[in-house]
A = this chain, B = another copy of it.
Amino acid sequence: MVKKLIELAKLVNSDFDGNEEVEITGVANLEDAKPGDITFLADARQLALLDTTKASAVIVPKKVKDAPLPILKVNDPYLAIAIVHNLFATRPFVASGQHPKAVVGNNCQISSEISIGPMAVIGDRVIIGDRVIIHPGVVIGDDVEIGDDTVLHANVIIGHGCKLANRIIIHPGTVVGADGFGYAADQYGHHIKRPQVGFVQIDDDVEIGANACVDRATFGYTWIKRGCKLDNLVQIAHNAIIGEDSIIVSQAGVAGSTILGTGVILGGQVGVSGHLSIGDRVMVGAKSGIHSSLPDNEVVSGYPAFSHKLWLRACAVIPRLPELFKDVRKLKRHYKEQEKS
């Protein structure tokens, strides 16, 4: 693929400021870029890095005035390079059909525009849309529905009855629709399994990392809404609802029946208790634990979490606690001596 720089400038709404005829054939980072590549500079203070790059053009923050090579000035170089890179990296779908070593059940409705890899196993009454890629070793249960342009990477498991919409990407080893973790204790302390008869619904444009888990609901459905991005090893428990465009970083977990609003961000290794309601655009610092519901726009950290700003200040005191403790003991002694005298 070859694109003129002027075309890319239009694509990213750039103040164009270079040679209109420069031809771009790929995307790379600053160090590895070859002639023909476009690259990007995230931070205007690192302008010196441009002196040594071999790229043919560079996307820069608006505040950059001048550079030794053609530049595209944008508000957000990360966003601009993502848009440009997707243009170059996206390859047209080529249907390879169903591999002879895949197994497909009965009464399925599967588009002819499909790629099903070897060792994939698809159950009965499964519906799959156009341009879907089922990688090797994927297992899809009975009565699953999958929309268009979805990619299931190797060894992904989609449990029976789950519903996946369009343009979803699920990375290897992830399990959608295992039973929720629900028991009732009897008089002997034995745990009686509560049947988990719901399903998982995943909306458009969701991406889920590798070896993650999204459990089916006890009743009804666990719901990952449009545009959510879940990282590797994330746990979403039964009946949770993850609001649109939310981000959940690696190894974080959301317990049962908790509802996250739109645009929530959970840092890595965060835990959120069950039956909570987390407002829109809430941000939770890495490793924090959420024990109570939160209104919109809160930024919290710690366990139990509170204001992130206050948390930073509280953390600064923690290493001084031994000293603080000694000081208070001394003060108490002084006070007692004063009392006596």
The CA-CA distance from A85 to B192 in the complex, in Å, is 11
Given A175-B171, A227-B190, do A157 and B154 touch, yes or no (CB 8 Å)? Answer: yes
Interface residue? A86 (CB, 8 A)? yes
Known A-B contacts A121-B119, A157-B155, A328-B324; the reply to A250 vs B251 at CB < 8 A is no
Q: How far is the CB of A58 from chain B (nearest CB, A)?
A: 14
Question: In the assembly, what is the distance between CA of A99 and CA of B146, in Å?
Answer: 25
Asked if A127 is at the interface (CB within 8 A of a chain B CB), the reply is: no
User: Do B249 and A251 have beta carbons less than 8 Å apart?
Assistant: no
Interface residues of A in 288-321 (CB under 8 A from B): 289, 302-304, 306-307, 310-311, 313-321
A213 & B215 in contact (Cβ 8 Å cutoff): no
Copies held by the complex: 3
A235 lies within 8 A of B253 (CB): no
Q: How far, in Å, is A9 (CB) from chain B's closest CB?
A: 17
Residue tally, chain A, CB below 8 Å to B: 111
Interface check A4, CB cutoff 8 A:
no
CB distance from A209 to the nearest CB of B (A): 6
* One of A47-55, A106-114, A329-337 contacting the partner: A329-337
Q: How far is the CB of A319 from chain B (nearest CB, A)?
A: 5
Contact among B245, B320, B335 for A189, CB-based, below 8 A: B245
| Interface residue? A279 (CB, 8 A) | no
Known: A310-B322, A313-B322, A314-B322. A78 touches B328 (CB 8 A): no
Give min CB distance, A62 to chain B, whole Å.
Answer: 15
Answer yes or no: A193 CB below 8 A from chain B CBs.
yes
Q: Tell me whether A232 and B215 are in contact in the complex, defined as CB-CB below 8 angstroms, given that A103-B101, A194-B85 are known contacts.
A: yes
Residues in A188-245 with C-beta less than 8 Å from chain B: 189-195, 197, 205, 207, 209-213, 215, 218-220, 227, 229, 231-233, 235, 237, 245
A219 to B34, CA, bound (A): 13
Q: Please state if B319 and A325 are interface contacts (CB–CB under 8 Å).
A: no
Bound: A310/B86 CA distance, A: 48
CA distance A185 to B229 in the complex (A): 12
A28 part of interface (Cβ distance < 8 Å): yes
Residue A137 is within 8 A (CB to CB) of chain B in the complex: yes
In the A-B complex, the 9 residue pairs with the closest CB atoms: A89-B195, A178-B210, A139-B154, A121-B136, A79-B184, A175-B210, A317-B321, A29-B219, A213-B232
Supply 9 A–B pairs (Cβ within 8 Å), ascending by A: A82-B195, A181-B249, A181-B250, A190-B227, A235-B250, A251-B271, A286-B289, A307-B319, A316-B322
